[in-house]
Chain A
Amino acid sequence: MCAIAGAVAAKRAAFDPSLVADMVATLRHRGPDDCGLRAAEGIALGHARLSIIDLPGGRQPMCSGNGSIWIAFNGEIYNFIELRADLVRRGYTFRTRSDTEVLLRLYEADGDGFVQKLNGQWAFAIWDEIRRTLLLSRDRFGVRPLFYTTRRDRLLFASEIKALFVDPSVTRAIDPRGLDNVLTFWTTIPPRTVFKDVHELPPGHSLTWHDGGVTVTPHWQPAFRLDEAASRSDGEWLEELRARLVQATRIRLRSDVPVGAYLSGGLDSSVVTALMREAAGQPSSTFSIAFDEPEFDERVHQQAAVRALGTDHHELRCAHGDIAHVFPEVIWHTEQPLLRTAPAPMFLLSRLVRERGFKVVLTGEGADEVLGGYDIFKEAKIRRFCARRIDSKWRPLLLRRLYPYLPDLQRQPAAYLHAFFHVSADDLASPLFSHLPRWARGRRLRLLLSDEMRASLDGYDGREEIASRLPADFGRWDAFCQSQYLEMALLLPGYILSSQGDRAAMAHAVEGRFPFLDPDVVELAAALPATLKMKGLDEKHLLRRLARDLVPEPLWRRSKQPYRAPDGASFFDDGRPDYVDELLSPARITRDGIFTSSAVDLLVRKFRERQPVGATDNMALVAVLSTGLLVDQFINTLGKAAHAGVRPGVAGLHPQ
């Protein structure tokens, strides 16, 4: 895995390519093995490399034979061997064994549309010197990040936002709508980011730049096809899913360096680890997180999986104070505020992976979205069920089956469960039905915003923005698919694969690979009857059946426990780092002008005085702290707060 960065100017306007060298220098954590820069009049492409395939041959930026096409590529193309063979048949020749060169030749052969053929995770830039056109592209689910900004006639792009801020002419300010999005949805609605004038290239989109003009077009979007639901028997669906997952895992083991796996002790990662063992013919190395707090710890299940699958297991113990200590560095990498601390242990885990000599891990990410595992899908199903008999006394009791791992919720009196999940006729008619309770809870965090922030939001409601951008077919999908779409379009790319995925892993140059997000698996899952995704309240029903042949019963029977980490309380230990009190102080809150000091004070007092705190309080506290850290490291100064002195340099970077 790697990082890319670059700049292009209209009318061949000259700029100093050392700007791009400085941009690459901020991204070396993603690509510590090598780096390169290529520049000509009005264009510069830069690259930082983590060598995984064709270690000597894959240097970048790479050029076509006559030098007219350049590429800087971050990612993996898993079907590059097949694509290469096809190109060779068509008469194309290759100088290296790398997947990068396959992209270059595919562009020469097929033009912009070639991305449709790719099975992989990518963010790349291709410069066509003859057409003087830049093509940026990002994979279907946005596994690999890519951001851009336009300054006058110049376009700057990079794998991470911090590289764009190397250019002093780029505004460094919080976008109120971006922040509001994060408070409600845990991420921004692309292309918006939390920084004004900084855009994300949305997942599944490509951007072309020509002479200062920018066009962004989708090449893929999540879509569901239920016309095939009756075309296969349950057994046939199962066999097809198995075949596609086996293949998805097999091609994700293509690597010239060893590949490990994250093993959480849940169904998805156990299945992935078992499939890896089948494909590789040997047990793999696995990694997991252990917590001191029993509420979050999954060691019992992890150990069961390790024993069953015979892996060489490595465990990261996340102690109580660890989260608070690494949190500033985590925010330096997530580049957006958080509502949960869960990315922090993932950040520590990737460090362990790296220390043990691994650069690549397979994980179970995506299974919940694609095959129907999340509690929010269950919640929506139960709410609809209750709404049909609004007076039923016993229907709301089903709600207790949700969230079995939340003791607070289990203690809720039945009458209150009923009231909390009460469904109005308006809600029932909303296309966002499944997510309304979650987003309503998120919007409570607006109570913390300063008057100025609220005024600049001026009645803005992100839910309306989402509703206005749903795919044309959305209304024809069944309710279950609609809720899946909302997860796939927002939380998956914007948080799970980003803050908790790419950013947490690439902080230590570790690449995640996700068999459940293979396009062939996703395509099959999108045609699955809803009852095979969730049968009654049995989540990931088909995957569970598949798992019976792969892992012991306690593992395939285990119901979903989402990965969670200690939140607000981790910042109030006696040994807490100094930044916590500083960022929560009234003086600091007032100076930043983002939150209301009196509101933050009431919030903080609940934690300091060890009063009972709820889910909203935890999210609020993590939001205030992470926003403060973001302002510290990206707006007030540019650099890791914990490591002042990290300033971009150009060491080791020479134009080719």
Chain B
Amino acid sequence: MPECAQELRAFIRNNFLYGSESPGLAFGDEDSLVERGIIDSTGILELIAFLEMRYAIVIDDDELVPDNLDSVSRVARFVERKLQPVAR
């Protein structure tokens, strides 16, 4: 999970902020990426594509909610849940 969070931070910084280290665009693991303006209106689709490719998961339409995807911690927890074998 910490590894996943680190990968996510790097992906977000490189993919959406072109690697900028500007303090104005620093984001914490709990910050809302949309409200902070880090992810723009088409960016969410890039994030989904990245998650599906990198972690070999399939994200259903009803999972596309900010509760799952709108901060580094939320995404990391979401990915972790998706990677766990389905409980019987």
Contacts and interface: CB of A to CB of B under 8 A. Distances in A.
B20 A614 contact: no
B41 interface: yes
B18 A448 contact: yes
B45 A603 contact: no
Contacts of A413: 44, 61, 64-65
B20 A599 contact: yes
A447 B37 contact: no
A412 B18 contact: no
B65 A419 contact: no
A603 B45 CA distance: 17
Contacts of B44: 412-413, 416
Contacts of A596: 18-19
A412 B17 contact: no
B45 A408 contact: yes
B6 interface: no
B46 A612 contact: yes
Contacts of A616: 40, 42-43
A603 B18 contact: yes
A602 interface: yes
A356 interface: no
Q: Which of B35, B43, B50 counts the most A-chain CB atoms under 10 A from its CB?
A: B43
B61 A420 contact: no
Interface in B28-85: 32, 34-35, 37, 40-46, 49-50, 61, 64-66, 70
Contacts of B50: 612
Interface string B9-37: 00000110111101001000000101101
Among B18, B19, B61, B64: residue with most chain A CB under 10 A: B18
A434 to B, nearest CB: 16
Contacts of A411: 45
Interface string A608-628: 000111111000100000000
A422 interface: yes
Nearest to B63: A413
A415 interface: yes
Given A441-B40, A612-B46, A614-B46, A416 B18 contact: no
A416 B43 CA distance: 11
A169 B71 CA distance: 54
Contact of B40 (A444, A600, A611): A444
Given A415-B65, A419-B66, A615-B40, A620 B45 contact: no
B58 to A, nearest CB: 15
A606 B15 contact: yes
B13 to A, nearest CB: 9
A440 interface: yes
Contacts of B18: 447-448, 596, 598-600, 602-603, 620
A447 B22 contact: yes
A611 B48 CA distance: 12
A409 interface: yes
Interface in A377-423: 408-409, 411-413, 415-416, 419-420, 422
A596 B17 CA distance: 12
B40 A612 contact: no
A52 B43 CA distance: 49
Contacts of A447: 17-18, 20, 22, 25
Interface string A431-460: 000000000110010011000000000000
A596 B19 CA distance: 10
Contacts of B65: 413, 415
Interface in A581-603: 596, 598-600, 602-603
Contacts of B34: 416, 419-420, 422
Nearest to A605: B14
Nearest to A440: B37
Given A415-B66, A419-B70, A408 B35 contact: no
Interface of B: 14-15, 17-20, 22, 25, 32, 34-35, 37, 40-46, 49-50, 61, 64-66, 70
19 contacts: A408-B42, A412-B45, A413-B61, A416-B64, A419-B34, A419-B66, A422-B34, A422-B35, A441-B40, A441-B41, A448-B18, A596-B19, A599-B18, A600-B18, A602-B14, A603-B18, A611-B46, A612-B46, A615-B42
The 3 A-B pairs at the shortest CB distance, nearest first, are namely A413-B64, A614-B42, A599-B18
Interface of A: 408-409, 411-413, 415-416, 419-420, 422, 440-441, 444, 447-448, 596, 598-600, 602-603, 606, 611-616, 620
